[in-house]
Structure 1
Amino acid sequence: MFGHIKYIHGCRFLTIAKWFIMLILIIVLLFIINYNKLFYVKYEEETNKYASLIFMSAEERNIIRLYLNKSHTMLEYGSGYSTLYFSQFVNAYYSIEHNEQWYKTIKSLIDHSPIISSIIKKYILIPINPGYKGWKGGFSEGNKIQFHDYIHAVHSLNVIKFDRVLIDGRARVDCAFEIYPYLDRNSIIFVHDYTKRTHYFNISKKYYKIILQTYEDRTLAAFKLR
């Protein structure tokens, strides 16, 4: 009889324990869900304020966004508010910059945001100053001799493949050619100001084919491997 009573109490204890464990699991699950919501709301509020500061039209920004998802690894030549904005739509972001003062400005914004800095894996400076090997400075395009180290900086990132690449800095044609080994058939590269600068057309003559382009404002083009 006493054994039967002990058995009943034991079963009740196990039942209570199971319900208690389930309650704890539900509380933990709700915490994780709400934390993620707060995380992404905070992140979107923080990054969306940079959208209008990017030197692109709304159409160009939206085209790039259309091709990004949270599984992607993305590379960028030529940093800016685009670095802070587009990083929210991918898993890992890498950026290369040549202007030291501009680098410090963007780096400060990255460092003040734990959310953004967790996604931007490497942000590197390859300083190229006006006068270096004849470079005129400013918005001058530069060439593969003047920007050799900048163009080849991709090799120091220790990334096997990039899903998306935004080329919006110096020596854009040479940057497009240099990243070729890091792409596959699903990779897409975006080149800003493509239509307005006819020497950029060399990009589509050898390795790449255009899949989309705009004709208004700064004219963005998207490419895939041939």
Structure 2
Amino acid sequence: MSNGWVMPDEVLRDAPAYTPRSFELADLELLLSGAYTPLGGFLGRADLSGLARRGRLADGTPWPVPVTLEVPGGLVSDLDLENPLRRALVLTDLEGAPVAAVDVTDAWPTRDGRYGVGGAVRRLGDGGHGPFQRLRRTPEEVKSLLPPGRVLGVIADRPLHRPQLAQIAHAARTLAAHLLILIPVADQGPDGLPPEVLVRAVFAARDRMPRPRSSRCHWPGAATRSATRCYAPGSPRRTG
């Protein structure tokens, strides 16, 4: 899939707008940041069918999970999928600020009054804001901050207490790995903590995290010598 499409600004001004659900906004951020490469947009029916049958997109590219967008049927009726100038859908954040546009090339009913839509996405504006925005890193930025060697990635979807920290430290020592902490911030965590509280709770444990064996990695504006930390905008996916 490609997101190299171009849409005149006057078309986007007249396009219908929709605020996706939190997990869809998380997927959108991952698409726009390049974290979901080679995907350039939300999947259509051909890709979803190939994914369900073979674990591959329609072009044969392996891919693990569906990345979908669902909208009210009334929005789809305002689009003309055969006309590139009348099939743009503007996506907004929870405050109503435009963050992206979808070039809708596929639409299908999913449940009462709802439609799935597929198509390439294009960033609008600055992409929105979130808690601790400076810690939201693109894949390239994260790679540039990691030292050579192994990396142990840990998804911290709840505060890290002594038992969890001990397990993480043991795994990092066993693997001789640098520690990368990923904090999902799309929604409240399993313990019901708001994202802002979760981030502060994880940061409060930084002095108990293992130090790298060879090198140190610093975040701009974050005083740390023990690990690299960044946001993963999405919540851990549930499958099955």
Please report the TM-score for the alignment, with normalisation by the length of structure 2.
0.23
Work out which of the two has the higher radius of gyration on C-alpha atoms and give 1 or 2. 1
Higher RCO structure, 1 or 2 (CA under 8 Å, sep 6+): 2
Please report the TM-score for the alignment, with normalisation by the length of structure 1.
0.24
